[in-house]
Homo-oligomer: A and B are copies of this chain.
Amino acid sequence: MVRLATRIGRLTLANPVMPASGTFGPELAEVMDLDRLGALVTKSVTPEARLGNALPRLAETENGLLNSIGIPGKGLDAFVAQAMPEWRRFRAPLVVSLSAPSVAEFAHAAAVLAATPGVAAIEANISCPNLEEDGRAFAMLPETAAAAVAAVRAACALPLWVKLSPNTADIAAVARACEAAGAEALVVANTILGLAIDIETARPKLGAGMGGLSGPAFKPIALRLVWQCAQAVGIPIIGVGGISTAEDAVEFLMAGASAVQVGTASFVQPTAMLDVLDGLVAFCTRRGIGDVAQLVGAALPRERLAAE
């Protein structure tokens, strides 16, 4: 028997495997049992309805995927009224990913979610453009990241996870700023900006031009970001980026993540999350590891471990 229960701040998850925002929906219940997951994470919800970006929205790269979906959706009110009842059918804690174009709108939306039954935590997706800062993502700089986090923190008492972006010079500084501003966990990381060009038409393959790179090609970068954050903060980290096997998940745990999210892999293997979960148990069993928490941070530099 391997103990899988995982504490993420105030929340205890049955196990450390969950979906990545934007790559998951209740539709997956047609393929597998969602109640086996440690948590459910919604696609990012925005205050206003949005159409999303120009098509095409996906382009394949070598072992990776570029996307520029653009967070289409019906907006927060429709989410609360229409999507929430559907989500409440499932057992695992529901984490609502929240995105907004300004600090004030982050705060307002957080207050709305706080008043919505069935929301277990907010995952603040601060990788989105900040319209008050020339469209740069909140997550690019420690100051703007902290401002968004503090606003959400002040507006609601829900467990607050913050999803960081790789598109920054110093992820450790951003991580520390988010921790100081009230984040209870960090989700590391969103996609990194990339580009692909169709050489026959000389146009970007994505309608929006640039897009976010995810999938196995991105994994070494995401793993490094987790490793850097784990050495920078004391709050739990949820690792995400290119995880498609249990071995990948073990790498993230050893790099300091307490839990993992699986995104793009579910497109290729719809049951990828359960494969990761089952494989994690098998790995622990084979290695005589009784609690998956023993893996967390196992590969971090010894100094760090000694200091804890």
Chain A residues with CB under 8 Å of chain B are: 61-64, 66, 136, 140-141, 167-170, 192-197, 199, 202-204, 209-210, 213, 216-221, 223-224, 227, 242, 247, 250-251, 254-255, 283, 295, 298-299, 301
Contacts and interface: CB of A to CB of B under 8 A. Distances in A.
B197 A210 contact: no
Nearest to A250: B199
Closest A-B pairs by Cβ, 7 of them: A194-B220, A217-B217, A62-B216, A195-B224, A202-B298, A169-B169, A63-B63
A224 B227 CA distance: 25
Contacts of A195: 220, 223-224, 227, 255
Given A169-B141, A227-B210, A220 B299 contact: no
Report the copy number of this chain in the oligomer: 2
A242 B217 CA distance: 11
Interface of A is mostly: mixed
A66 B194 CA distance: 19
18 contacts: A61-B217, A62-B219, A63-B63, A66-B220, A140-B170, A168-B169, A169-B169, A193-B224, A194-B220, A195-B255, A196-B251, A197-B254, A197-B255, A197-B299, A199-B247, A199-B254, A213-B221, A217-B217
A227 B209 CA distance: 10
B299 A194 contact: no
Nearest to A203: B299
Nearest to A62: B216
Nearest to A298: B202
Contacts of A192: 221
Nearest to A194: B220
Contacts of A203: 299
Contacts of A221: 192-194, 213
A299 B202 contact: yes
A217 B140 contact: no
Nearest to A193: B224
Q: Which of A63, A168, A170, A204 has the most CB of B within 10 A?
A: A204
A199 to B, nearest CB: 5
Contact of A194 (B63, B167, B213, B223): B223
Given A169-B169, A195-B224, 14 more contacts: A61-B220, A62-B219, A63-B63, A63-B64, A169-B170, A192-B221, A193-B224, A197-B254, A199-B247, A199-B251, A202-B299, A204-B299, A213-B220, A217-B220
Contact of A223 (B197, B217, B220, B224): B197
A37 to B, nearest CB: 22
Given A66-B220, A251-B196, A209 B301 contact: yes
A84 to B, nearest CB: 35
A182 to B, nearest CB: 23
B169 A254 contact: no
Given A202-B254, A204-B299, A194 B224 contact: yes
Nearest to A59: B220
